[in-house]
Amino acid sequence: MAKEIRTIGVMTSGGDAPGMNAAIRAVARACAYYNVKCIGFYRGYQGMIEGDYTVMNARSVRNIISRGGTILKSARSVDFKTPEGRKKAADQLKEIGVEAMVLIGGDGTFRGGQIFSEEYDIPVIGVPGTIDNDIAGTNYTIGYDTALNTVISAIDKIRDTASSHNRLFFVEVMGRDAGFIALNSGVGAGAEEILIPEEDLGLDRLLESLKRSKRSGKSSSIVVVSEGDKTGKNVYELADYVTENLPDYEVRVTVLGHMQRGGSPSCFDRTLASRLCVKAVELLLDGEKNVMVGIINNEITATSFDDGLREGHEINKELLRISDILST
């Protein structure tokens, strides 16, 4: 029989994502509901190593569901990558009396959790929180939907000025090595071209497509570029390349950057965070360990870290075809 768990820790790690607060709230409230003590660690794994924590109850998380960022702060801990760092974290958990952890973050957070759970007998459950949506064990990560909405609202504004000046804009979006944000925001904002790491269509095609746009009577264009795209040129080099080859175009660049990680989470992200985190706490209380929770076909699921982190989380390339048709 699984050991009864009386204290659960929670932390947020890696790049912050809108909805992390809703996730923390759900962990703290689910713990309160099940009469389990909840400890919030600051700055992810670093706070676990340093014993930097706060005791949380249902009221500690009032009015945070709508707030961006994370009240527990976030970090990418270098120390936790070392066996010594992980030992310190395990010792701290023991001293504080934390018997299980909910880890909210992206692939780096889950990799850390996986190693930690192999080395120490402390059950952990990963909750996917990253704007990149690059985790195989879930259809959606917390923060992705909000980031998409932030991006399309920014591109809509860029479109206004692009159209007033008959300009071509390259808009760089985040996503690290994944093109989910670029592809979906590109379709949602009606971009003329979308460049993603998963599909290098080549620079010739980009030029051809822009020429076609001009011929078809378009006066302005938007090209959405994922920060990890594989053209071999960064967004400024791409702009120079197009200026050299298509001098008729007046080209500008906008890098959206960290604004994509901020802002009040969408209803989708708040609900997703709430569902995933209640499940995470319930799984721990049921004796489950060392898995990530996710949402697959609208069902909340538990997947091993290995499967959840496997390479090649499929992007929907059909969207590139849709984009092609619709940018005619």
Binding site for ligand F6P (CB under 6 A): 15, 106, 130-132, 174-176, 227, 261
Given strand 221-226, what is the order of strands in its sheet?
Answer: 193-195, 221-226, 167-173, 250-255
Closest approach of ligand F6P to the CB of residue 66, in Å: 21
Q: Closest CB to ligand F6P among 130 and 303? A: 130
Q: Is 132 a catalytic residue?
A: yes
Instruction: Extract the tokens encoding 176.
Output: 């690290």
Q: CA 149 to CA 50: how far, in whole Å? A: 36
Closest approach of ligand F6P to the CB of residue 132, in Å: 5
Whether residue 310 is annotated as binding a ligand: the answer is no
Contacts of 324 (CB under 8 A, 6+ apart): none
Closest approach of ligand F6P to the CB of residue 144, in Å: 10
Whether residue 174 is annotated as binding a ligand: the answer is yes
Q: Closest CB to ligand F6P among 109 and 303? A: 109
Q: Closest CB to ligand F6P among 11 and 242? A: 11
Closest approach of ligand F6P to the CB of residue 261, in Å: 5
Catalytic residue among 132, 145, 229, 269: 132
Whether residue 212 is annotated as binding a ligand: the answer is no
Contacts of 271 (CB under 8 A, 6+ apart): none
Contacts of 263 (CB under 8 A, 6+ apart): 18, 68, 146, 150
Whether residue 60 is annotated as binding a ligand: the answer is no
Burial class (CB in 10 A: 0-12, 13-18, 19+), 98: buried
Whether residue 318 is annotated as binding a ligand: the answer is no
Rounded to 5 degrees, φ, ψ at 44 are 60, -140
| Helix 235-245, helix 203-215: angle, nearest 10 | 60
Q: Closest CB to ligand F6P among 53 and 140? A: 140
Bind-site residues: 15, 25-29, 76-77, 106-109, 130-132, 159, 167, 174-176, 190-192, 218-220, 227, 252, 258-261
**Catalytic residue set:** 132
Bind-site residues for ADP: 25-29, 159, 190-192, 218-220
